[in-house]
């Protein structure tokens, strides 16, 4: 329980207290829930404890993967000790699948898998309703971050996205989108801050697409507590699994020097896009027709590229290959590519 001292800040979900150490704060996670910019208010029984615990586990997970965060330790069910930072008033949002405000803004159907993950910035300002920002707004109107900082935040955020997607998929959960906050500590280090919980993530069950996050509260879908507990259960078991040795004894022999210990056979098929002129294909089509194969149409000539990659998961291998296609193997402006991975 919070002590009698007054919080230095009481937000929509947490109370922030000072400690004996001026560089360290105590974040108390409450059960209170808000949505639609605090127009809808309620309580999700047990949420504070679940969110504090999930945050602690996920901060530890990203720290292990080289991302610097404000997290120090969990000191009780509902409380984390964190490094004091000056929060940059940006909501840094990553999207893998269309949902929420993206659908509303663009008229896209919920569930569309986005071509690549999208990072966007909103102004963390409840009075203004957290408006979407452009880089120019951030740099030249608000003056809250420069290009270098935004590039760094984008890079760290995309890295965190890969870590989360990989971790959650292993536990049968799709990471649809999430919101991060960053801040600078007294030495000027940029740290991932705030919380990592189902309040700030959209999680869907990988098999059923059942919503396991705050959308259950926003949309009155019922069993909100159950969904939060389910995420905690899967995060805990995922962390336990990832702590187990990952390889068999023979694999350990062969690959002691690298963590990327699974091999994948990759086949990439590259073809000209539907409406792109393909003179070679047209010539072959004409030749076939003149040989008497009159029913031939829509012939395209492309290429097939095969190779092997090592990565610690199929998801990571796939995202690497996708990157290779975008950068080199295909020309995404005029060519489509299909990745087969075994």
Report the nearest approach of ligand ADP to the CB of residue 211 (Å). Answer: 21
| Closest to 167 (Cα-Cα) out of 335, 313, 2 | 313
Q: Which is nearer to ligand ADP, 27 or 98 (CB)?
A: 27
Length of the chain equals 342
Coil, strand or helix: which one is 257?
coil
Coil, strand or helix: which one is 123?
strand
Report the nearest approach of ligand ADP to the CB of residue 245 (Å). Answer: 34
| Closest to 174 (Cα-Cα) out of 219, 222, 113 | 113
Count of positions on this chain that bind ligand ADP (CB under 6 A): 17
Measured between alpha carbons, how far is residue 202 from residues 214, 218, 227, 230, 331 in Å? 7, 12, 11, 13, 32
| From 26, 47, 49, 84, residue interacting with ligand ADP (rule: CB under 6 A) | 84
Burial of 110 by CB count in 10 Å (0-12 exposed, 13-18 middle, 19+ buried)?
middle
Q: Answer positive or negative: Cα dihedral of 51, 57, 62, 67.
A: positive
Unique residue bearing structure tokens 């008229």: 107
φ, ψ for residue 165, nearest 5 deg:
-60, -45
Does residue number 85 form part of the binding site for ligand ADP (CB under 6 A)?
yes
Residues 6+ away with beta carbon under 8 Å from 86: 183, 184
Are the CB atoms for 246 and 179 separated by under 8 Å?
no
Does residue number 82 form part of the binding site for ligand ADP (CB under 6 A)?
yes
Site string for ligand ADP, 243-282 (x = CB under 6 A): ----------------------------------------
φ, ψ for residue 143, nearest 5 deg:
55, 50
Q: Is 129 left (phi over 0), alpha (psi -120 to 50) or beta?
A: left
| From 2, 11, 46, 332, residue interacting with ligand ADP (rule: CB under 6 A) | 11
Does residue number 102 form part of the binding site for ligand ADP (CB under 6 A)?
no
Q: Which is nearer to ligand ADP, 24 or 114 (CB)?
A: 24
| Closest to 165 (Cα-Cα) out of 129, 192, 137, 201 | 201
Report the nearest approach of ligand ADP to the CB of residue 45 (Å). Answer: 18
| From 12, 68, 267, 322, residue interacting with ligand ADP (rule: CB under 6 A) | 12
Q: Which is nearer to ligand ADP, 157 or 171 (CB)?
A: 157
Does residue number 6 form part of the binding site for ligand ADP (CB under 6 A)?
no
Report 176-195 residues binding ligand ADP (CB under 6 A): 181, 183, 193-194
Site string for ligand ADP, 28-67 (x = CB under 6 A): ----------------------------------------
Q: Binding segment for ligand ADP among 5-13, 40-48, 96-104, 171-179 (CB under 6 A)? A: 5-13
| From 13, 93, 176, 266, residue interacting with ligand ADP (rule: CB under 6 A) | 13
Does residue number 26 form part of the binding site for ligand ADP (CB under 6 A)?
no
φ, ψ for residue 110, nearest 5 deg:
-55, 135
Does residue number 9 form part of the binding site for ligand ADP (CB under 6 A)?
yes
Q: Which is nearer to ligand ADP, 11 or 100 (CB)?
A: 11
Q: Which is nearer to ligand ADP, 217 or 337 (CB)?
A: 217
CA distance 305 to 302: 10
| Closest to 184 (Cα-Cα) out of 89, 68, 85 | 85
Does residue number 79 form part of the binding site for ligand ADP (CB under 6 A)?
no
Q: Binding segment for ligand ADP among 4-12, 100-108, 162-170, 294-302 (CB under 6 A)? A: 4-12
Binding region for ligand ADP (CB under 6 A): 9, 11-14, 16, 25, 70, 82-85, 87, 181, 183, 193-194
């Amino acid at each position: 329980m919070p002590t009698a001292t007054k919080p230095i800040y009481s937000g929509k979900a947490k109370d922030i207290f000072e400690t004996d150490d001026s560089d360290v704060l105590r974040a108390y996670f409450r059960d209170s829930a808000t949505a639609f910019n605090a127009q809808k208010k309620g309580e999700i029984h047990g949420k504070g404890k679940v969110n504090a615990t999930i945050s602690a586990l996920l901060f530890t997970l990203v720290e292990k993967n080289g991302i610097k965060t404000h997290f120090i330790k969990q000191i009780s069910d509902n409380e984390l000790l964190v490094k004091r930072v000056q929060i940059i008033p940006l909501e840094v949002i990553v999207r893998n699948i269309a949902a929420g405000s993206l659908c509303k803004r663009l008229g896209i159907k919920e569930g569309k898998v986005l071509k690549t993950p999208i990072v966007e910035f909103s102004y963390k300002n409840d009075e203004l309703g957290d408006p979407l920002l452009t880089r120019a707004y951030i740099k030249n109107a608000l003056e809250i971050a420069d290009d270098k900082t935004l590039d760094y935040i984008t890079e760290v955020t995309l890295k965190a996205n890969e870590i989360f997607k990989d971790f959650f998929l292993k536990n049968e959960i799709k990471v649809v989108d999430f919101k991060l906050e960053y801040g600078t500590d007294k030495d000027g280090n940029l740290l991932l801050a705030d919380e990592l919980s189902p309040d700030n993530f959209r999680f869907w069950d990988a098999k059923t697409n059942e919503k396991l996050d705050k959308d259950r509260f926003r949309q009155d879908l019922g069993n909100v507590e159950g969904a939060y507990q389910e995420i905690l259960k899967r995060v805990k078991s995922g962390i336990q699994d990832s702590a187990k040795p990952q390889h068999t004894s023979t694999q350990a022999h062969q690959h002691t020097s690298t963590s990327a210990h699974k091999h994948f056979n990759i086949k990439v098929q590259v073809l000209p896009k539907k409406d792109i002129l393909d003179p070679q294909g047209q010539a072959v089509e004409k030749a076939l027709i003149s040989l008497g194969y009159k029913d031939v149409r829509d012939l395209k000539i492309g290429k097939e590229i095969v190779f092997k990659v090592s990565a610690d998961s199929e998801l990571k291998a796939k995202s690497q290959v996708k990157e290779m296609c975008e950068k080199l193997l295909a020309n995404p402006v005029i060519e489509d590519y299909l990745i087969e991975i075994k």
